[in-house]
């Protein structure tokens, strides 16, 4: 029984051109080979597959329904090969074609998606997987090799990972438009006396820097709502309370939302985030590219 051999893509490619061209002569011209080459390739392919692909009617080649279906299958395969080709290009250029990213929620709805878009714009060959998780889990994922790079808030401690600071800035105060504080040019911790606060629900509850700051300054707050960082601006916009958060996440979320005023906040609460990756990634050419994209991107953020 003729085993369906697919030794040569060439025969498939010739068939594809032939099918598209409609005649062997035309296909030959397109391919830059002779008509006899096409004719031979076809008859050989037919023999190989055990399929009659073209009827020879009145000295013309007429595609059979089988040829039509095979053509579609081949189109699919060519697409797959194209993907492989793209992967190879990414592999050449960046040393990898697969980039698994883990990031904290504060960066996962704006900054990292934009970074991913920028990366893909330069090379469609990248196959990217992107997960959002807590800073601690980001470290674990990168350490264990389940992710290639991670974005975390600094400082972090990890013996195994390289840590690269990308940005250090200060937290801003988010105030609903119409709120008494909204007309100020800056907000001080003292202004938050008796204010209702919206804060991020971090895993370590006592670690919220704003609450700690309030405590050390003897400020009594009016109450607090903990929420996922992705929902905080929405809560602020709806007048639930005021919040203090890093300007990156704030900018990401406020780009489409009105009704929130962003003000400087004192005393300064440091916010620092960066990139982590395993030791064995230190030479990956992709890193340099990611850094460049990130630098470019950060310019678009205030501060």
Partner DNA sequence: GTATGCGATGAGTTTGAGTCATGCCTGATG
Partner DNA sequence: CATCAGGCATGACTCAAACTCATCGCATAC
Burial class of residue 125 (count of CB atoms within 10 Å of its CB; 0-12, 13-18, 19+): buried
Answer for which of 87, 135, 195, 200 binds its own copies (CB under 8 A) is 87
Provide the minimum distance between the beta carbon of 226 and DNA in the complex, in angstroms, as a whole number. 59
Answer for which of 25, 123, 225, 272 binds DNA (CB under 7 A) is 25
* Residue 197 interacting with DNA (CB under 7 A): no
Provide the minimum distance between the beta carbon of 20 and DNA in the complex, in angstroms, as a whole number. 13
* Residue 32 interacting with its own copies (CB under 8 A): no
Q: What does the alpha-carbon distance between residue 10 and residue 81 come to, in Å, rounded to a whole number?
A: 13
Q: Which pairing describes strands 270-278 and 98-103: parallel, antiparallel, or unpaired?
A: unpaired
* Residue 136 interacting with its own copies (CB under 8 A): no
Q: Which stretch binds its own copies (CB under 8 A): 8-16, 102-110, 196-204, 235-243?
A: 8-16
- The DSSP output letter for 22 is S
Answer for which of 12, 15, 42, 107 binds DNA (CB under 7 A) is 42
The terminus-to-terminus CA distance of the chain in angstroms comes to: 72
Nearer to its own copies, 83 or 237 (CB): 83
Q: From residue 74, give the alpha-carbon distance in Å to each of 12, 144, 166.
A: 7, 39, 46
**Judged by CB under 8 A, how many residues of this single chain contact its own copies?**
32
Answer for which of 9, 20, 34, 168 binds DNA (CB under 7 A) is 34
Side-chain-side CA neighbours of 285 within 13 Å: the count stands at 9
**Who contacts 284 (Cβ-Cβ below 8 Å, separation ≥6)?**
94, 95, 96, 148, 277
Listed residue (204, 108, 92, 87) closest to 150, CA to CA: 108
- 82 near 39, Cβ under 8 Å? no
Q: Which pairing describes strands 187-188 and 127-132: parallel, antiparallel, or unpaired?
A: unpaired
* Residue 88 interacting with its own copies (CB under 8 A): yes
Answer for which of 77, 181, 211, 234 binds its own copies (CB under 8 A) is 77
Contacting residues toward its own copies, per CB under 8 A = 4, 6-10, 49-51, 65-66, 69-70, 72-74, 76-77, 80-81, 83-85, 87-89, 91-92, 95-98
- Which residues are near DNA by CB under 7 A? 7-8, 10-11, 14, 23-26, 28, 32-37, 39-44, 54, 56, 58-61
């Amino acid at each position: 029984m003729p085993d369906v051999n697919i030794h040569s893509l060439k025969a498939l490619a010739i068939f594809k051109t032939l099918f598209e061209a409609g005649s062997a002569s035309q296909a030959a011209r397109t391919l830059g080979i002779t008509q006899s080459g096409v004719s031979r390739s076809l008859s050989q392919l037919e023999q190989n597959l055990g399929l009659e692909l073209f009827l020879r009617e009145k000295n013309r080649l007429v595609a059979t329904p089988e040829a039509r279906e095979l053509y579609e299958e081949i189109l699919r395969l060519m697409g797959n090969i194209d993907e492989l080709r793209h992967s190879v290009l990414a592999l050449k250029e960046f040393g990898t074609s697969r980039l698994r990213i883990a990031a904290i929620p504060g960066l996962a709805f704006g900054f990292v998606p934009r970074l991913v878009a920028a990366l893909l714009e330069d090379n469609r060959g990248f196959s990217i997987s992107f997960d959002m998780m807590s800073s601690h889990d980001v470290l674990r994922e990168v350490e264990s090799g389940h992710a290639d790079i991670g974005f975390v808030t600094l400082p972090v401690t990890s013996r195994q990972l390289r840590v690269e600071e990308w940005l250090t800035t200060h937290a801003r105060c988010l105030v609903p438009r119409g709120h008494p504080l909204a007309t100020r040019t800056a907000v001080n911790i003292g202004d938050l006396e008796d204010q209702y606060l919206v804060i991020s629900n971090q895993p370590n509850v006592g670690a919220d820097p704003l609450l700690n700051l309030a405590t050390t300054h003897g400020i009594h707050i009016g109450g607090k709502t903990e929420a996922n960082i992705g929902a905080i601006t929405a809560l602020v916009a709806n007048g639930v309370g005021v919040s203090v958060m890093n300007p990156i996440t704030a900018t990401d979320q406020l780009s489409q939302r009105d009704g929130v005023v962003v003000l400087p906040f004192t005393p300064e609460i440091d916010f620092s985030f960066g990139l982590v990756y395993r030791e064995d990634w230190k030479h990956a050419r992709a890193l340099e590219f990611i850094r460049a994209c990130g630098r470019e991107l950060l310019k678009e953020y205030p501060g």
